[in-house]
Amino acid sequence: MLKEAKTGRVFYVPGEHDVIGDDSKAFFARFGGGGWHSFDHRGVHFVALVNVLHLQAGGLGFLGAEQLAWLKQDLAGLSASTPVVVFAHMPMWSLYPSWGWGTQDSAEALTYLARFGSVTVLNGHIHQIQQKVEGTVTFYTARSTAYPQPAPGVGPAPGPLQDVPAGKLLGYLGIRDVRHLRGSHAIAVTDRALG
Amino acid sequence: MIPIGAKVTWTNHDEETHLVVSTGGRFPSSQALDTNDTYSTVFAKPGAYAYFCAIHPQMVGTIVVQ
């Protein structure tokens, strides 16, 4: 599926299964990069975060002090009107903490993003679509190409849904496209000098 | 709760991969356990040993040795 993508560059962030046993060394050796990073494309600032390393007992996803310091510095020079897109594997809001669906220090990261007029946060991990708007920050989780998971709190625990009929499975799986559509209308309020 | 010197074996009966990791590194961690994989370790000293899954840190437990 990735090979069919019509794009010159692919940017990866690891999920928790990508870093088992070696703290992500094999993942980054294969897919490049050394962890969290950012880049600019057509005026949009993209930030890739890693929130699946050094998870603590009883905790959620985790960014850590070093990554938070980098993020603060990375955003510091940007105008508040710069659109920002953040992507990370685990949800960056407390979606369902008792199933581990959240990031324990994401609130700190969001304080750095609060001054921007448009922030889009893209996450995976829970294999289903959930979304939430908080001020100028919009959070989205996407479907998976692997297996479906239960809705938050439905059933005893997260994990693969095993009672999906084979013929219905593809209805639970999916990919996401994000398109940038520039508005075609002038804004409603315009001012003109008389001479 | 187990006696001193007992061996504990974990078996992963889930579809997902799990690990057994000691909170605070007080006993050796397992490798990643696929479905039906097992991991065993011996507890030689008394105490309460908390552990969790490094992939699913909301999954926690405690072995009490006395």
Min Cα separation B50/chain A (Å) = 9
Can you say whether the dihedral through the CA atoms of B36, B37, B42, B43 is positive or negative?
negative
Residue A32's pLDDT is 80
The partner residue sitting opposite B52, judged by closest CB among A57, A98, A99, is A57
Rg (CA), chain B: 12
Residues A63/A47, Cβ–Cβ less than 8 Å: no
Here the tokens at position A68 are 């938070």
Structure confidence by residue, pLDDT tens digits, B6-39: 999 999 999 889 999 999 999 999 999 999 999 9
d(CA A142, CA A98): 20
d(CA A112, CA A65): 13
Contact list, A162 vs chain B (CB under 8 Å): 15
Structure confidence by residue, pLDDT tens digits, A33-76: 778 999 999 999 999 999 999 999 988 999 999 999 999 999 99
Contact list, A20 vs chain B (CB under 8 Å): 17, 19, 32, 54-55
User: Could you tell me how many CB contacts below 8 A there are between chain A and chain B?
Assistant: 44
Residues A148/A161, Cβ–Cβ less than 8 Å: yes
Structure confidence by residue, pLDDT tens digits, A110-154: 999 999 999 999 999 999 999 999 999 999 999 999 999 999 999
* Residue of B12, B35, B55, B58 best to disrupt the A interface, most CBs of A under 10 A: B58
DSSP secondary structure code for residue A96 in this structure = B
ipTM metric: 0.79
Residue B60's pLDDT is 94
The partner residue sitting opposite B55, judged by closest CB among A20, A97, A162, is A20
Measured CA distances, A68 to A34, A109, B19 (Å): 16, 6, 27
**Encoded amino acid at B60, one letter:** V
Contact list, B57 vs chain A (CB under 8 Å): 55-60, 100
Strand, helix or coil at B53?
coil
Contact list, B52 vs chain A (CB under 8 Å): 56-58
CB contact under 8 A, B14 and A159: yes
Strand, helix or coil at A188?
coil
Q: How confident is the model at residue A14 (pLDDT cuts 50, 70, 90)?
A: very high
Mean pLDDT computed over every residue of chain A: 92
Q: Which residue has the higher pLDDT, A69 or A189?
A: A69
Structure confidence by residue, pLDDT tens digits, A68-111: 999 999 999 999 999 999 999 999 999 999 999 999 999 999 99
Q: Taking 90 as the threshold, does the pLDDT of residue A23 lie above it?
A: no
CB contact under 8 A, B16 and A160: yes
d(CA A73, CA A87): 17
Contact list, B51 vs chain A (CB under 8 Å): 57
Q: Taking 90 as the threshold, does the pLDDT of residue A183 lie above it?
A: no
Residue A69's pLDDT is 98
| A15: Cα separation from own chain's centroid | 11
d(CA B53, CA B22): 9
Residue range A174-190: mean pLDDT, rounded: 82
